[in-house]
Structure 1
Amino acid sequence: MTIPEPIKKFITWIQDFDHRILRNEDDVKEKFILPMFHYLCYPEKCHHEYPLKTFKSEKYRKSPENSHIYYIQNDIQQKNTGTSLVFIKVIEPQAAKLNDAIEKYKFYIHQFNPLFFIITNGYDIKVFECLYCYKNELVFDINIDKLKSNDIASKFYDKLNFDCVKNIDNTANILKNTKYNLIEKLIRHHPDLQDVLEKYDFEPCTKREGYRLVVIRKKVAIACNLPKAFGEGNCEIEFSSLILRGLKIDLNNQDILGQLMTGLHTQPDWGCRRFFKQLNKNTFEVYLGKTTLILSELETADLCFCIDGVCQEYKNLIIEFENALETWNFEFVKLSDNWGFILFSVRQELWELMQQFANEFDYTKGKSEWHLFHRKDISIRVSRGIRDHTFILPKLDRRLDLLPNNQINIIYELNDVNLKSIETDKLTLWQQDIGIQGTWTARYTKQWLVEKYIPKVVNYYSAKSQLCEAKLLAKITNHTSERVLITEVDNLKDLAPYLRDIQFWLHIYVENIAATLLKPYYQAYTNLVRNTDSSITGIDYIVGNLRKIEWTNRQEEISNNFTDWKNLSFKHAIDCLDQQVARINNCEYENSLKADLITRTFIWIIENGKISFSQAQLNAAKQALLPLWQESRFEMRYVYTNR
């Protein structure tokens, strides 16, 4: 397919552009924005630069910030909110967080009423399509490197070129904005109208039919298709308010897990949820998929209630599937049509023998105890023809780069055959089929392969050829770490791997955390390490972490104060931990950085100290750790990774 000449020129320009030449805001304007819009075919006369005013005084700043607007008209007399096409704000090249700047300029977006809003630092680019009712849809969130792709550059040009944008009919949006502004003013001046509007509220209810869940509050309704096994769900969100009525927001599985799943059952103003932020006491900005909304306090509360109901069930089903099929300890992989888990790796020659054995012992060829296979393409189906036990699939492990003897990952595959008992009207039927006589779990499949099948295969063929049994068996690579279960830990150092999982999760966690999850954890581990030998090494590291929690000084000020506390004893560290326990008992939520520092402290003490503890203290520590670790495990697997 031939690329049109204007698009070809745009692609050539962007692929030749080097963002490293940008040194300041003027460079972003002169060397990036103006050339970009030239290649997007905007006439130079349609460009206008505006000094932005402050919100309060409406006086120009001494050094005013500038915005750039492209209009549909060349005539200066025709440049108004009815003809504005694109509102652009450039910021310093080193400014990393565009989201903070977006909020600052939303006032002006509303004032100029453009079709698109663009904010960029010359490398990162966010493009919003400005719809009615303060709703801005994020249509591009990319950087220069991604924009250099022919496909993305073509889509960018198709969306934002002058001929396309100028032909968008904005009349409907202007009329709707005007109508909504009038409605808002009327409501503010006539509070009694609120009673009239309430008759349009939804009727609250919760309904569940199979894998279909509907949760409704007065202001918000969410209808969700829950996930089956490791499949994907989705949901649709509606609002009852006069301004948002008719708006339907569809969220896919990735949106639900990536945006909505954190901070369940927390208050909107605690900062524990990643899909919105509080603008003022009564207003919240909410991000749902690619849609941004401004909601009232009541609408936000109802939205959170509905999300809690839907996401808790969504989460419960996922955990239920993983628990039942014993898959948590295995790496999750997406196959062409299905899902799977890496059990372990073997040498390619061993896998070929496993396939050969399965083919020779197909259940249609005999009735011995080993005639229980059926080959389908490259996978092996373990079955006697009536009941399927498990499916295993090979996958080349290119990460190991072992040539010519490549490692083959053995995949525990989940497909439509062995999950066919999951029916919408019988939610527990599939669980009843799990067991040695029915569907095998990932853990049992691995055990059976390593302890029975592979030894049988190796023994069978080594007796017929010169194959070295020990050599083949020695190349089995375990992909899972064999940890002592939390509930069975009696050696404190066995707790460290779990604490490290939690610490890593906290380190990347950008939201606050509900204090209810951390209160028993802080208390139990402070008690567990209380009687540590005072000769423990690294007291400066321990106290340093605890001091950082309280200090609000900059890092250089912390360094200057180092000499004041480097000789303190372990008793002082315990005093600091006791203070943190007392503090969190009076908190509703905790900053993830503080929880990270405290966890680092616990890890160091457990790994480096000689600790005297009672069985009661150990039991309390294990009990407090389990729910926190399970939360971190779920979010690291489903929230912070892209499936």
Structure 2
Amino acid sequence: MTIPESIKQFITWIQGFDHHILQNEDDIKEKFIFPMFKHLCYPDKCHREYPLAKNKSGNYDRNYENAEIYFTTDNIKEQNTDTSLIFIQAIELDKTKLNNAIEKARFYSNDCNPLFFIVTNGYIIKVFKRLHYSREELVFDINIDTLKNKDIASRFYNKLNFHVVKNIEKNTTDFLINTKHNLIEKFIRCHPDLQDVLEKCNFEPCIMREGYRLVVVKPKVAIACNLPKAFAEGNCEIQFSSILFRGLKINLNHQEILGQLMTGLYTQVDWECRRFLKRLDKNNFKVILGQTTVILSKLEVADLCLCVDEVCQEYKNSIINFENALETWNFEFVNFSVSRGFILFSVRQELWELMQQFANEFDYTKGKSEWHLFHREGISIRVSRGIRDHTFIFPKLDRDLSLLSNNQINIIYELNNLNFQSIETGKLTLWQQDIGVRGTWTARYTKQWLLEKYIPKVINYYSDKFQLSEAELLAKITNYASDRMLIQEIDNIINLAPYLRDIQSWLHIYVENIAASLLKPYYQAYTNLVRNTDSSITGIDYIIGNLRKVEWKNTQEENSSNVKDWKNLTFKYAIDCLDEQVARINNSEYENSFNADLITRIFIWIIENGKISFSQAQLNAAKEALLPLWEQSRFEMRHVLYILIDKAT
């Protein structure tokens, strides 16, 4: 068969394209996207830039960065959602994981309604076909080198060239897919005998656990999950028993499980607490699972949520147990391209260089003294005697892979999967069994050993040789030590404030509703704790102002007839309002996170600025109510919301 000239030209162009010439996002557009679509026969005048952004409420908005859209027409006035064909988003060259960009492109595609959306970093190319009433179809997941294959390039051209795409009837396609779905649903409901047959196709409910492998099965949904194992990330696969999704397998990685499924566990689907659910009508939900979107019935969603609750609780427990065992909670978690771990402290560059030099001299292959226990692994230091690794130390680098600009090096307790894989291939069945001074060191012990033994040894060893001042070198250490008391040990009310600020920061960026059961004891205990505050407290207008916002949020509008003169409002009025909020939440199943944020701000202000008379019983109740809420906020800020924050940056 003769290959058309237009396809030949496309193949010639892509085979001659060198992606190494791309230096930034502008290059990706000017030297890759625009030429490619020109060879796909898209007229330049059918193209328009599309401004993207994220607004203060956390929702995507405009006027921040640009994507590209191609339309069927070159008439600017007619370039709209009815004529849009392809949405393209270019991302930074060094980003090889495109999940964040895909989610953003999916969001904007819902707004501009193209037939396809594409995400590329100039080398990797992902092309999705939008099926509005079913799931998105990933039609191409390739890179430039793969696309240079003549057959693949031909398929790419035949699928995405302008003359083919512009003739796809998007409205007809959507209508047919939706109609097909509805007809099947109606047909099943109208034939009870068929329902009996289909019920026999349901999965057999069960829960199976073998090591780190967990399988949870409900009649409509099954999830098989590889739980996170020490430092290794987990993943899962979701399947449905419905004939509409027979054969569909949805795979979620570690970030997708945490970012999409972990929020709103054990809540009802009607409460709008779960990030992956969006109600379409009384009986149907739009469900976003990783890069796949499906429409599920309420019954299917109920089974899905039951599976998610079981899997995610175990997933969460695995992460918490890991952090508890390695004593890492008090250290900042960092995750960057070459490594991940926890910041222990920081040192000046010259001290770090001495630490590396000492590790080189005392490699465990060079002697048998008590200090011959190091081995260089790239730029990191491996503390080991060759048989068992104790810990891995890594210097934090900036994005340009140069040392931090202020000449201060963060010392990272590095998470190293190889260490734990070697442990579990030995006689031990659980990596936790190896934790201790003679085995795997915790983050806390590693920090203690570095500061009390290793660094003093390094300074003493080189002090005469290089005429170094011990005092000057020790002064180059910045120790990140927490001065807050443990919640259980607090006896002064002001020491509650740092924990309340953690909770408020969490609530401020939380967008879903929260189960009221988590907040009821918190609202009640802290209202009682601050009840007997001296009425002369400053900032009563701030307190009342936040209470007003809560009231307006709940009533959806300001009732001007009930607005009092703020100058005459007292602290007793504020307590009465807080009591009303306690009564309200006690009769609610869920709470808006905005309300919880405002009420927490009020508690913080009163505790930090008021003279409060409280009993030991009130303080104990406040600590008891605070602990589970703070632990929830700590886990989500560290393992869930950081993923969403990273997507926005």
**Partner Cα separation in structure 2 for residue 103 and residue 169 of structure 1:** 17
**Partner Cα separation in structure 2 for residue 286 and residue 264 of structure 1:** 15
Q: Label 1:267 to 1:36 Cα distance change in 2 as closer, same or farther (>3 A).
A: closer
Deviation at 1:386, TM superposition (A): 3.5
TM-score (normalised: structure 1): 0.76
Report Cα offsets for 1:101-159 as digits up to 9, x if no partner. Answer: 98899xxx9xxxx95599xxxxxxx997244963345999xxxxxxxxxxxxxx99997
Cross-structure match for 2:162: 162
**Partner Cα separation in structure 1 for residue 156 and residue 549 of structure 2:** 45
Amino acid at match of 2:206: C
Amino acid at match of 2:246: R
Cross-structure match for 2:548: 547
Deviation at 1:260, TM superposition (A): 0.7
Cross-structure match for 2:278: 277
Cross-structure match for 2:373: 372
**Partner Cα separation in structure 1 for residue 553 and residue 50 of structure 2:** 35
Q: Given the alignment of the two structures, is residue 134 of structure 1 paired with residue 134 of structure 2, yes or no?
A: yes
Cross-structure match for 2:382: 381
Report Cα offsets for 1:144-176 as digits up to 9, x if no partner. Answer: xxxxxxxxxxx9999754245379999999998
Q: Label 1:343 to 1:287 Cα distance change in 2 as closer, same or farther (>3 A).
A: same
Amino acid at match of 1:7: M
Deviation at 1:641, TM superposition (A): 1.9
Amino acid at match of 1:492: I
Amino acid at match of 2:36: I
Q: Secondary structure at the match of 1:436?
A: coil
Does the 8 Å contact 2:538/2:610 carry over to 1?
Answer: yes
**Partner Cα separation in structure 1 for residue 313 and residue 321 of structure 2:** 12
**Partner Cα separation in structure 2 for residue 134 and residue 639 of structure 1:** 27
Cross-structure match for 1:7: 36
Does the 8 Å contact 2:397/2:403 carry over to 1?
Answer: no
Q: Secondary structure at the match of 2:414?
A: strand
Q: Secondary structure at the match of 2:632?
A: helix
Report Cα offsets for 1:331-384 as digits up to 9, x if no partner. Answer: 223355543222111011111111222233334444444333333333222233
Cross-structure match for 2:343: 342
Which aligned pairs between 1:143-158 and structure 2 lie closer than 5 A? none
Q: Label 1:132 to 1:263 Cα distance change in 2 as closer, same or farther (>3 A).
A: closer
Cross-structure match for 2:639: 638
Q: Given the alignment of the two structures, is residue 68 of structure 1 paired with residue 97 of structure 2, yes or no?
A: no
Cross-structure match for 2:442: 441
Identify which range, 192-201 or 174-183, moves more after superposition. Answer: 174-183
Amino acid at match of 1:68: D
Amino acid at match of 2:82: H
Cross-structure match for 2:28: none
Report Cα offsets for 1:533-552 as digits up to 9, x if no partner. Answer: 22111111112212221124
Q: Secondary structure at the match of 2:456?
A: helix
Amino acid at match of 1:452: K
Cross-structure match for 1:623: 624
Cross-structure match for 1:221: 222
**Partner Cα separation in structure 2 for residue 575 and residue 427 of structure 1:** 59
Does the 8 Å contact 2:134/2:294 carry over to 1?
Answer: yes
**Partner Cα separation in structure 2 for residue 189 and residue 450 of structure 1:** 74
TM-score (normalised: structure 2): 0.75
Does the 8 Å contact 1:513/1:591 carry over to 2?
Answer: yes
Deviation at 1:207, TM superposition (A): 1.0
Q: Label 1:572 to 1:242 Cα distance change in 2 as closer, same or farther (>3 A).
A: same
Cross-structure match for 1:495: 496
Q: Label 1:158 to 1:500 Cα distance change in 2 as closer, same or farther (>3 A).
A: farther
Q: Secondary structure at the match of 2:459?
A: helix
Amino acid at match of 1:221: A
Amino acid at match of 1:205: C
Does the 8 Å contact 1:529/1:605 carry over to 2?
Answer: yes
Give the aligned length: 564
**Partner Cα separation in structure 1 for residue 447 and residue 465 of structure 2:** 26
Cross-structure match for 2:25: none
Which aligned pairs between 1:153-552 and structure 2 lie closer than 5 A? 160-163=160-163, 165=165, 180-334=181-335, 338-396=339-397, 406-420=407-421, 423=424, 429-479=430-480, 481-552=482-553
Q: Label 1:14 to 1:496 Cα distance change in 2 as closer, same or farther (>3 A).
A: farther
**Partner Cα separation in structure 2 for residue 568 and residue 172 of structure 1:** 61
Report Cα offsets for 1:589-641 as digits up to 9, x if no partner. Answer: 11101110110011111111122222222222122111111111111122222
Amino acid at match of 1:613: F
Cross-structure match for 1:152: none
Which aligned pairs between 1:114-129 and structure 2 lie closer than 5 A? 116=116, 129=129
Report Cα offsets for 1:37-93 as digits up to 9, x if no partner. Answer: 46xxx5779x9979xxxxxxxxxxxxxxx85258xxxxxxxxxxxxxx889xxxxxx
Q: Secondary structure at the match of 2:278?
A: strand
Amino acid at match of 1:533: D
Does the 8 Å contact 1:392/1:413 carry over to 2?
Answer: yes
Does the 8 Å contact 1:584/1:590 carry over to 2?
Answer: yes
Q: Label 1:161 to 1:508 Cα distance change in 2 as closer, same or farther (>3 A).
A: farther
**Partner Cα separation in structure 2 for residue 455 and residue 425 of structure 1:** 34
Q: Secondary structure at the match of 2:265?
A: coil
Cross-structure match for 1:606: 607
Q: Label 1:15 to 1:495 Cα distance change in 2 as closer, same or farther (>3 A).
A: farther
Deviation at 1:418, TM superposition (A): 2.8
**Partner Cα separation in structure 2 for residue 12 and residue 355 of structure 1:** 58
Does the 8 Å contact 2:382/2:391 carry over to 1?
Answer: yes
Report Cα offsets for 1:149-204 as digits up to 9, x if no partner. Answer: xxxxxx99997542453799999999987765543332243344322321111111
Cross-structure match for 1:56: none
Does the 8 Å contact 1:397/1:409 carry over to 2?
Answer: no
Cross-structure match for 2:572: 571
Deviation at 1:561, TM superposition (A): 7.7
Does the 8 Å contact 1:483/1:494 carry over to 2?
Answer: yes
**Partner Cα separation in structure 2 for residue 561 and residue 273 of structure 1:** 35
**Partner Cα separation in structure 1 for residue 418 and residue 108 of structure 2:** 51
Unmatched 5+ residue regions in structure 2?
1-15, 18-30, 52-61, 88-103, 119-125, 141-154
**Partner Cα separation in structure 1 for residue 630 and residue 455 of structure 2:** 34
**Partner Cα separation in structure 2 for residue 555 and residue 180 of structure 1:** 36
* Percentage identity across paired residues of the two chains: 72
Unmatched 5+ residue regions in structure 1?
21-27, 51-65, 71-84, 88-96, 119-125, 141-154
Report Cα offsets for 1:569-607 as digits up to 9, x if no partner. Answer: 222222222221122111111110111011001111111
Q: Label 1:641 to 1:506 Cα distance change in 2 as closer, same or farther (>3 A).
A: same
**Partner Cα separation in structure 1 for residue 291 and residue 440 of structure 2:** 40
**Partner Cα separation in structure 1 for residue 627 and residue 275 of structure 2:** 24
